[in-house]
Structure 1
């Protein structure tokens, strides 16, 4: 078996510009960066359900108006969706209770401003594209695809008062550094996706040069493994599918930066017996 295998698992009609996903039981919860719905896809039944996050939820929202939900994570019995923070109207966090179906919205503008001050990031360069919760701390993953090229992890308490920023160097393609597009916690490792785009803008898309899977130490954030998995795809969503002593399987989604309401779900398998992955 090779170090990794990547295969198209299935396609979902009705979702475009997928930017994050959570695998739970027999469902995939999926977000789109140009939509204000949360989507639930039943894998067995092959049925898609839309969950309205706002009274006037829409699909294919114009770029200047969209909430730009780029991160989704589970904390307890709730799913949390984070706006990227790359423009003033992208500063929302929405939670969805998996049992009661209750939806709560919070404005994170003040906290996002603190993030920028902590890391000396300009208004144009904040771009959060991954989130996880561990040890009573939020970990927010900054995609350094702006002019300042600051990849890193913000670690902050639940109130956003105690904030630290850890810069994270990532591999390069054609001398352009990869930038975070998602991250999840699996046992004592942070697995992440990173993409290389030929752009210095958090707003405008660039030519896609490839995507990586990698791992960081949970304690030190040291890069312990990285592997280029595609030269053409910009993978933006990562969730655990299954794990064993021999292998770990993830599901990935891709943002094609189009208005087509169709999303491809890929399965990525890593061989844990490979020395380069352990």
Structure 2
């Protein structure tokens, strides 16, 4: 498996990108600390619109201060309980104020994003972590039947977890249903760079395959950032609970030193060959869009 960068461009006015999802011609991008969901043309990466999520400037590079931000890290395309298509946005949960989320309908641009209290859901997941691990969701992906949520635990190799939840029951639970969804937990061994283990940072399904990103920071703190050492693209086998990873690199073989936060499939190039759109966060308010080719040959 190889992961090769084709191009990288800055995303001005879009701070701290943390996730991307492509639906039709639109690439939707969330960030750790902006107040809006950003919309890009998936082909040209030009900005097309912003969807205000909560009170705060929707335009420009304004960043919500770290202690106050909802820390939106997870996004997945889902159908809501009433059948509406849309995007499920989830905060990381690493602090009490980060247990917030939104359902954003995508069938019409005028639909108002609907806030969600994620506290009941996170109360189900947090006790399933290994002792001493800080709850910190960093990625999500949805199939027709399941919602997958990825725990990123920095500084230790034994707490990279995938939570598998039934999609319909979980969406109903988020909407206020009393029935509690059944949670399955899968631990994964992730690669390391210079002795620092990677942590999950993005996920997406394509052709019934689950691709993930995992980035490496030299830190042991779930809230404070550390030096970024590189990023991996991985292919996860849910049946065997194993994953294969490739270090993201430039064409000349140089390892990419940015922190990839999310990925989406831009197009299928051929058999076992895809073009992906990645988004990155430099932890200083800057974001980029990276186009990369992934080959399983």
After TM superposition, the score normalised by the length of structure 2 is: 0.83
1:169-196 deviation line (CA, Å, top 9, x unaligned): 1111112211100111122321110011
Does the aligned pair in 1 maintain the 2:162–2:185 contact within 8 Å? yes
SS at the partner of 2:224?
A: coil
1:208 paired with 2:228, answer: yes
Q: Give the aligned partner of residue 86 of structure 2.
A: 78
Superposition pairs for residues 33-48 of structure 1, below 5 Å? 33-42=32-41, 43-44=43-44, 46-48=46-48
Matched, 1:179 2:202: no
The structure 1 segments of at least 4 consecutive aligned residues displaced by more than 6 Å after TM superposition are none
Local SS of the residue matching 2:29: strand
- C-alpha spacing 1:16/1:149, structure 2 compared with 1 (3 Å): farther
Within 2, Cα distance between the matches of 1:107 and 1:87?
13
Correspondence for 2:278: 252
Distance in structure 2 (CA, Å) of the matches to 1:204 and 1:88 = 16
- For structure 1, list consecutive stretches of 5 or more residues without a partner in the other structure: none
Q: Displacement, 1:144?
A: 1.4
2:86 paired with 1:103:
no
Q: Deviation digits for residues 41-78 of structure 1, max 9, x if unmatched?
A: 23448334221012445630000000000111111321
Between the two proteins, the alignment pairs up a number of residues equal to 268
Relative to the length of structure 1, the TM-score reads 0.89
In 1, are the aligned partners of 2:155 and 2:220 still within 8 Å (CA)?
A: yes
In 2, are the aligned partners of 1:181 and 1:192 still within 8 Å (CA)?
Answer: yes
Deviations 1:187-230 (A, max 9, x none): 2321110011111111000111111011111333321x211113
Number of the residue aligned with 2:215: 195
Q: Structure 1 residue 147: deviation in Å?
A: 6.1
Report SS of the residue matched to 1:13. Answer: coil
- Whether the aligned pair in 1 keeps the contact of 2:157 and 2:197 (CA below 8 Å) is no
Match of 2:151 in 1: 142
Secondary structure at the aligned position of 2:65 is classed as: coil
Q: Does 1:163 pair with 2:183? A: yes
151-160 vs 140-149, which moves further: 140-149
Does structure 2 conserve the Cα–Cα contact (< 8 Å) formed by 1:121 and 1:148? no
- Greater shift, 145-154 or 158-167, is seen at 145-154
Structure 2 partner of 1:67: 70
* CA–CA separation in structure 2 for the residues paired with 1:221 and 1:189: 13
Q: Root-mean-square deviation (CA), in Å? A: 2.1
Worse-matched range after superposition: 229-238 or 146-155: 146-155
